[in-house]
Structure 1
């Protein structure tokens, strides 16, 4: 039996050079855990509240208040508790909705650090500690960013992400090798076609190319898959993150690059046409976060064909996911721990999704750090899929490298290959 002895916190920097919160927790047996938290650019309006200072420092994005809240508000409630008791105490420390007072970034830093310290106290990796057994750990199938638009690339494309899924790979190492080959081949193709921007990277390491249409991005991705030596669909499939909330304008969906406005039904039809023409197996945030009627229609039309993922729709909230399950909306949930604020809260979302037959995708944010705890969470939760970004930028490769380490050093199995390019429904 161990208890929390000390908590320290500080202001760190994320991959965009913006402040974020870091914390260190020490248990009374000497075990410790350190964690830094991420931040999203395309944040859903219903997710847990990220506390920023305002004022002139870092253009108002400082987090000194959140750091001070760890020391003054959270630490007194947590010191002396066993690790298993901490998340409940953190939840009770802020009676406002979504941690508006203390800050979800403050709460999550402590929650993660405590979980890491507890794993260290048990002499286990965080992945093994969360899994709670000695059986083989499930390594997730990676969803790897190749082309970026939306909030991740200054609106270079209307659709936010075009991703490769190495569905035919037999190991995680092979999956990353294939994905890296597609990413690098896409760069060479883009440069050959006169897109000098291919030497740059977007927030998540993908290519931010000002292509004329979203359809052109899909064609380039297919060309990259084939030129890299893989069979589209059978070996490398496609996922798209529409991030439709970002371009909803006055009740219609605005494709600015193409100078078009679409209704919910028209956007669903457009995505359906892409699914007919390309080996797309996963579609995220096909409609906006509050377009529930549209989402019901999208689920009827697209749900039987693809993995239909809710991100802004569910924001890792048991309440919103419960509503989606009850309404028969989507069939998969994106899990971003900082949308919830607690490791235990995100764990509850995983369990709820699994009980309803929904697939789960653990995801990083556009503003990340070199910390790799996300990889352990995806494995410990047996999520089956992980979305980190591209194979470029060290805050992305840190997560891939951690999964490669787990594959080499722990007893593991890989979540692929996927039959017919489709993820297995049962993630447990």
Structure 2
């Protein structure tokens, strides 16, 4: 009886095995690979079989997200994100990504109190981001395919909207409770404050002698959810993990996300390298130029251009050392030197001299780019700080302004938007080697921005950085003829997901914009930025100075990519710099009857003159 039962069990097991193998197509697949392998005759038989069956395996899925606190190049807290996945029935660590930190809106020379508040908010954001990654995001993207970037970003942004609604409701409820508790006392305090401010306003009006310009105020700063940097962190980490499971480089995966397939050839972006930093926070009177950058010509290999860039940097450092000693060679957080400049011409002349010293010609072999940081040199309307009548709080760290509504290009020299247009046109006429300026003024002066573009865009790129909203908003906005630019700078920070940036890159390129991938103030040694710039086919990559590990690591990665592409004959040369003309929009046509009325009025005036 036992032998009969064993035979029956064995027969049933064989039937289940046959059914199992047939359902998964195992016999058919084995037959196919055995036949093809015989004709291909590979030297590594088992490697051949392994590669074949690996292509039939289920796609890897995300199994766990782990986040912890790490530190950036400035010693500030940031997020380290680990993506674990199930690959061929095994749980593996797919990628570890350390995010760069968001650029602070504060200048370097702000009061200690403001800096402490900013540091506290940063720590709160990092703690909240780590909590969101380890809980909500971990649960939402569990079992998702990391190669499906759009789906991953869609899921996490849906989560962000849900959390934002909950937070807004909580804040609204707290505000209602505070209003109920305060009651009449708050109204009395407001009345006293308004009376006091009214008296002070009259006195200040009598004392004021400077002309106040009429200007459009800045848009209110978007209030993001605390911990919002968790979403860009997981977006980038998932993108990197996908390249690992596909066994390709990150730049190839990014290019595949953008084009639907890996392109035949790639281009390496031109480096925008900062040599000198000035601006409002630096010593000296110069405010209108925050960064003096050098840019090689389009057909110069990166390996060769970086050799010259190092020579330019070292020459400038030697000049500062000869004049002021060791202290003048000290660098800031991005590795740039911060001398005492009173005029933009000082930095421009020195860069041109350094380029010439290398046996090159400024304007032919090497060019100059300027980061003007227009919003930082704009004088905002001061508002008294609560409890501190002798101090003002306006644009963060800018309570030292003297003439509101104007651009303080140099200490004591303020210009309205009309004069600023003439200022930039004159500077570019005298220095034709300048081929790019970033944020020459605020977006709010769109009429003057377009007027400046009309006059200089034929020979210089007008690039917007803070002039545009973040990619998550920009992708849904309609581009108009009232505000245009030659280029746009993107940063991998805050709420910027990979999908949003890819969408905006395509959108802005279709509008004749050059793409600039820019680093942040608090960078890390993660090289995602370099790969991403190559993958999206960016024209420029702005990395900071050619020193400091977190800066040179991006350059080193680009050099590695360039060499790999050259060896595989997949390096595509860049096209010469293009400067499409940007003209202001045409004036609106007069309504019916309006033109005739104007003509009659002009005729009457002419008759009176006669």
Fold equivalence (TM over 0.5): yes
Structure 1 distance, partners of 2:478, 2:365, is: 35
Match of 1:313 among 437, 447, 467: 467
Q: CA 1:424/1:128 → structure 2, altered by over 3 Å: closer, same or farther? A: farther
Structure 2 distance, partners of 1:286, 1:221, is: 20
How far the C-alpha of 1:371 sits from its partner, in A, is: 0.9
DSSP-derived class of the 1:150 partner: coil
Pick the structure with greater CA Rg.
Answer: 2
Equivalent residues in 2 for 1:39-78, closer than 5 Å: 39-41=101-103, 43=105, 59-62=120-123, 63-78=126-141
Matched, 1:360 2:426: no
- Contact kept? 2:474, 2:504, Cα under 8 Å: no
DSSP-derived class of the 1:209 partner: coil
Match of 1:403 among 547, 552, 558: 558
- Contact kept? 1:156, 1:209, Cα under 8 Å: no
Counterpart for residue 277 of structure 1: 430
Structure 1 distance, partners of 2:572, 2:309, is: 16
- Contact kept? 1:280, 1:306, Cα under 8 Å: yes
Matched, 1:413 2:567: no
Higher helix share: 2
How far the C-alpha of 1:224 sits from its partner, in A, is: 1.3
Equivalent residues in 2 for 1:75-90, closer than 5 Å: 75-83=138-146, 84=148, 85-90=151-156
Matched, 1:253 2:316: no
Counterpart for residue 119 of structure 1: 243
How far the C-alpha of 1:370 sits from its partner, in A, is: 1.0
Q: CA 1:146/1:19 → structure 2, altered by over 3 Å: closer, same or farther? A: same
Structure 1 distance, partners of 2:578, 2:415, is: 30
Aligned residue pairs total 412
Match of 1:374 among 516, 526, 529: 529
- After superposition, the C-alpha distances for 1:339-385 in whole angstroms (9 at most, x for unaligned) are 55201111111110111221111110111111110000000001121
- Per mean C-alpha deviation after superposition, the further-off stretch among 264-273 and 226-235 is 264-273
DSSP-derived class of the 1:210 partner: coil
- Contact kept? 2:286, 2:344, Cα under 8 Å: yes
- Per mean C-alpha deviation after superposition, the further-off stretch among 25-34 and 35-44 is 35-44
Structure 2 distance, partners of 1:181, 1:392, is: 12
- Contact kept? 2:449, 2:483, Cα under 8 Å: no
Q: CA 1:61/1:316 → structure 2, altered by over 3 Å: closer, same or farther? A: closer
Structure 2 distance, partners of 1:89, 1:69, is: 14
Structure 1 distance, partners of 2:131, 2:351, is: 46
- Contact kept? 2:460, 2:579, Cα under 8 Å: no
Q: Indicate the structure whose relative CO is greater, using CA pairs within 8 Å and at least 6 residues apart.
A: 1
Q: CA 1:337/1:8 → structure 2, altered by over 3 Å: closer, same or farther? A: same
Counterpart for residue 68 of structure 2: 10
- Which 5+ residue runs of structure 2 have no aligned equivalent? 1-58, 107-114, 166-221, 257-261, 380-403, 581-610
Q: CA 1:325/1:201 → structure 2, altered by over 3 Å: closer, same or farther? A: farther
Higher strand share: 1
- Per mean C-alpha deviation after superposition, the further-off stretch among 75-84 and 276-285 is 75-84
- TM-score using structure 2 length: 0.63
Q: CA 1:188/1:335 → structure 2, altered by over 3 Å: closer, same or farther? A: same
Structure 2 distance, partners of 1:227, 1:371, is: 34
Equivalent residues in 2 for 1:11-410, closer than 5 Å: 11-29=69-87, 30=92, 32-41=94-103, 43=105, 59-62=120-123, 63-83=126-146, 84=148, 85-95=151-161, 96=164, 100-101=224-225, 103-132=227-256, 133-150=262-279, 153=282, 157-158=286-287, 159-167=289-297, 170-194=300-324, 196-249=326-379, 250-256=404-410, 258-278=411-431, 279-317=433-471, 319-320=473-474, 322-338=477-493, 340-410=495-565
Q: CA 1:273/1:170 → structure 2, altered by over 3 Å: closer, same or farther? A: same
Structure 1 distance, partners of 2:375, 2:116, is: 28
- Contact kept? 1:42, 1:151, Cα under 8 Å: no
Counterpart for residue 48 of structure 1: none
Structure 1 distance, partners of 2:283, 2:120, is: 19
CA RMSD, Structure 1 to Structure 2 (Å)? 2.5
How far the C-alpha of 1:26 sits from its partner, in A, is: 1.5
DSSP-derived class of the 1:327 partner: coil
Counterpart for residue 259 of structure 2: none
